[in-house]
Amino acid sequence: MIAQLNEGEAPPRVVLEIVRRMEAGQVILLPTDTVYGLHALARNAAAVDRIRRIKRLEDNRPFVNLYNSAVGLGEFVRLPEGSARRRILDSWPGSITWVLPAAEGVPEHIKGEDDTVGVRIPDNQLIRSICAAMNDLIVSTSANRHGNPAASTRYELDPGILEEVDGAVFQVEPLAGHPSEVIRWTPAGPEILRSRDGSSANAQVTKILIVCTGNTCRSPMAEAILRERLKESGGDQFVVRGAGTVASEGHPAEIGAIQAMSERGVELQGHRSRPLTTELMDWADVVLVMTTDHLAELHERFPDYTQKAFLFSAYPEMDLEGIYGIDDPYGFDSDTYRTVAEEIATEADRIVAHLLAGRSGSGDIKGE
């Protein structure tokens, strides 16, 4: 045992001893703001691999990486701009892990799929002091064998784990006892990969992208209605986002759309427009467009993704004879917006029924 500390303590002698050990390639058991964890210097591939062996992991799944502050974090990950960056930074210090694009030069062994890195600034003074002293990331994962529960007190720790680590620090008080929430940032917005209760939220997630022209009228209404319908139906394995073929970044929804949705008890005040990009097309499993004109444009601009693009008012059918889609209410009166909202709601009910049938195994989710 290296030390037993009270919550919030980070004695310099203990910090320096842990730094010395980690820089020598050792694996150290430490309390975090969630559960007890196994820790090592992230850039030391041999130490990270040893953690996998201690946990009895047979795959190369990436671990969470901890750091002391947002200052200098850009050396390891690429943070998004604007409100997305603020949301991430406002969540720290705390128990939320963000999966972000890796910066150039980050070691391959700590990357996840699509060159991403999971990072967190914990609400734990000891660990943040260690990271600050090393000016580096440390890998962190729960101190348990794979498939066994994590430990929130020293007495819940597996004795076998304690025998295999090179040192341990215990906290007098019990830890929070729940794993960190894991959220992936994508061009379409955040995706919850693991919820606060520890359950996986990405095992079979279907990602739906709704496209109109400016992403201020039809697609925001359709996005909101479809998300509500899926939520009401228990369809929690779907992520719905919107974009516009000629949209600019950051514009609010049109007032007519806001009012029409408000009458339905749905909030659109926080909506901000998003342009359609290759990254969004790649992100989506199913792309639902408002008109056949949009469909033709997508086929021309994104020929590699035509198999996942469908007309909103026809999905999942591909035969569009005699069908145009949902007209744009932009510039018309409030009654027109209400009519379009009703048309979208009717189609959304049909789409949700098909999506849930496909999820339950009685049909296929077209586009995936």
Catalytic residues: 212, 218, 328
Q: Which of 17, 56, 51, 12 is nearest to 167 (CA)?
A: 17
Task: Judge contact between 105 and 76, C-beta under 8 A.
Answer: no
Per the listing, tokens 């932009």 go with 330
Cβ neighbours of residue 12 closer than 8 Å, sequence gap 6 or more: none
**273, two tokens:** 């427009």
Q: Contact 229/135 with Cβ under 8 angstroms?
A: no
Crossing angle of the two packed helices 125-134 and 12-23, in degrees rounded to 10: 50
- d(CA 249, CA 273) in angstroms, rounded, equals 5
Cα distances (Å, whole numbers) of residue 6 to 11, 94, 157, 175, 254: 11, 19, 18, 11, 54
